[in-house]
Chains A and B, each alone.
Chain A
């Protein structure tokens, strides 16, 4: 979460950058590039597209810096802009399908390989169960939960980043949590009893 200090640094960096301070521009990149790459990968699974979009986003930022307005949250602004870049790139290229817009379920990736049988410990079991259930959520639910619990955005911000209205964003989060809850509740009670 942004502490007051970090937020003030953000504002100072943003203002310096808008006045043409290249060093500040670089600092902004360093502060957020990893989060942005991580988020981009979540919605596309395509590292090349994510990197290209991040590159284009920062080129746009620098060339239009004088026309940018104040912002209270650089992170929020950048997330929203990156999602736009990616979604525009995908609109241009019909080979792409937006992961969170398509109906296909998320890739069954490394989580499946993790064998549940080997994990005898309850903590691992819990993690496994949660991952498994998480993968079964819709891409949009997954993305909303990712933005809320990993990137710590507020629900209003999540709505805007995802390009949906406030109620829909809340619904993604709420229904996602609900689906994860049941599996976890039983396990966690068991886990707690062990301590």
Chain B
């Protein structure tokens, strides 16, 4: 670093200089005194820079009254206490709260009425005959809240039935069966996976949080994930779950065909960035297409495949902060004269290069 050639703006842009003015200590004090004794002609430049740093600090001083800070805290505290008291039903209706949810939210719906003959009796699930099963049938209400022994919450929709063990305490797995549609908010317990049996499909929780939902009125069961990891496999192939099952990560969904017991994996309709509290920046200035794709990949947790060599030569100026994933890809592709396809929950970019 050649401080001798520095002008005022260079000194102000220098962290070491700025720290000396605002947080002087023995070390930096000695350094700058030595510098001045060696180059006394820099005195005026240094003094002007010092004055500017000090003045800029005071200029921006904006004293916030303690009351203002206290008032906001009281609001925060009140909101959180309120939330603790009442179980928040619409957890996954609001994508932001749902994503922020500590627990695990799971919604499974299936066409029980049409497929009763395919139903596998719940007792087959566990050899542990000591388990006492509880059955709850919801015929009339739009939805009811059920609290399981492990702390998990279930919101059971109308015309649905949930069977679960009264006490999971001794069981190595937490297993429930569902007919109809329900949303689950599962208490995290890595040593004991939580399994939902529905319509021949087994949904197993692996990680911290996930969302699964399946629409009613279809021969398919759809499971989609917002955050965390979920594994799916067919009940018929439980012994070969590792080979024939699939794992879903955030922003992925799978459609399970109940008759053929096959899966089709894809990206969810409305992918969201993984870190919703502090989403990454999508402002690019003369950035290579490779880095742009990497940013998008990371932000959404979705693989993007492209020719790295071809793309590294493309430089773009873009601000795509407000757009959703598909709009982002459309814009980037338009600029690159490229197109994209979604295959197996991956994005593939076809481009002639730059």
Q: Is B37 located at the chain interface by the 8 A CB criterion?
A: no
A139 to B287, CA, bound (A): 25
Query: B51–A134 contact, CB under 8 A?
Result: no
The answer to whether A188 and B57 touch (CB under 8 A), given A34-B69, A165-B287, is: no
Query: A152 to chain B: closest CB distance in Å?
Result: 7
CB within 8 Å of A: which B1-44 residues: 8-9, 12-13, 15, 18-19, 22-23, 44
Residue of B nearest to A178 (CB): B9
Q: Is B86 located at the chain interface by the 8 A CB criterion?
A: no
A91 to B12, CA, bound (A): 34
Q: Is A16 located at the chain interface by the 8 A CB criterion?
A: no
CB within 8 Å of B: which A87-115 residues: 91
Contacts of A191 in B (CB 8 A): 51
Q: Is B299 located at the chain interface by the 8 A CB criterion?
A: no
Query: A63 to chain B: closest CB distance in Å?
Result: 4
Query: B47 to chain A: closest CB distance in Å?
Result: 6
Contacts of A77 in B (CB 8 A): 278
Query: B71–A51 contact, CB under 8 A?
Result: yes
Query: A126–B55 contact, CB under 8 A?
Result: yes
Query: B80–A59 contact, CB under 8 A?
Result: yes
Contacts of A188 in B (CB 8 A): 47-48, 51-52
A135 to B312, CA, bound (A): 41
Interface string of B159-189 (1 = CB under 8 A from A): 0000000000000000000000000000010
Query: A149–B60 contact, CB under 8 A?
Result: yes
Query: A123 to chain B: closest CB distance in Å?
Result: 10
Q: Is A173 located at the chain interface by the 8 A CB criterion?
A: yes
Residue of A nearest to B99 (CB): A64
Query: B96–A130 contact, CB under 8 A?
Result: no
CB within 8 Å of A: which B201-256 residues: 208-209, 227
Contacts of A65 in B (CB 8 A): 102
A37 to B72, CA, bound (A): 10
Query: A130–B277 contact, CB under 8 A?
Result: no
Query: A70 to chain B: closest CB distance in Å?
Result: 13
B contact residues, total (Cβ < 8 Å): 57
Query: B277–A60 contact, CB under 8 A?
Result: yes
Contacts of B13 in A (CB 8 A): 155, 170, 173-174, 177
The answer to whether A33 and B69 touch (CB under 8 A), given A62-B80, A178-B9, is: yes
Residue of B nearest to A127 (CB): B55
Contacts of A173 in B (CB 8 A): 12-13
Query: B62–A185 contact, CB under 8 A?
Result: no
A170 to B9, CA, bound (A): 11
Contacts of A192 in B (CB 8 A): 44, 47
Contacts of B75 in A (CB 8 A): 51, 55
A91 to B60, CA, bound (A): 27
Query: B85 to chain A: closest CB distance in Å?
Result: 15
Query: B6 to chain A: closest CB distance in Å?
Result: 12
The answer to whether A64 and B102 touch (CB under 8 A), given A1-B23, A84-B278, is: yes
Query: B72–A54 contact, CB under 8 A?
Result: yes
Contacts of A134 in B (CB 8 A): 56, 59
Residue of A nearest to B281 (CB): A163
A contact residues, total (Cβ < 8 Å): 63
Query: A60–B69 contact, CB under 8 A?
Result: no
Query: A177–B8 contact, CB under 8 A?
Result: yes
Query: B97–A80 contact, CB under 8 A?
Result: no
The answer to whether A81 and B277 touch (CB under 8 A), given A38-B62, A67-B208, is: yes
Q: Is A49 located at the chain interface by the 8 A CB criterion?
A: no
CB within 8 Å of B: which A141-191 residues: 145-146, 148-150, 152, 154-155, 160, 163-165, 167-168, 170, 173-174, 177-178, 180-181, 184-185, 188-189, 191
What are 28 A-to-B residue pairs whose CB atoms are below 8 Å?
A1-B22, A26-B73, A30-B69, A30-B73, A33-B69, A34-B69, A37-B68, A51-B68, A51-B72, A55-B72, A55-B75, A55-B79, A58-B76, A60-B96, A63-B97, A67-B209, A126-B55, A130-B55, A134-B59, A145-B60, A160-B281, A163-B321, A164-B281, A165-B281, A165-B283, A165-B284, A173-B12, A185-B8
Residues of B within 8 A of A (CB): 8-9, 12-13, 15, 18-19, 22-23, 44, 47-48, 51-53, 55-62, 64, 66, 68-69, 71-73, 75-76, 79-80, 83, 96-97, 99-102, 188, 208-209, 227, 276-279, 281, 283-287, 321-322
Shortest 6 CB-CB contacts between residues of A and residues of B = A64-B100, A150-B60, A149-B56, A63-B100, A81-B278, A33-B69
Residues of A within 8 A of B (CB): 1, 26, 29-30, 33-34, 37-38, 41-42, 47, 51, 54-55, 57-68, 77, 80-81, 84, 91, 126-127, 130-131, 134, 145-146, 148-150, 152, 154-155, 160, 163-165, 167-168, 170, 173-174, 177-178, 180-181, 184-185, 188-189, 191-192
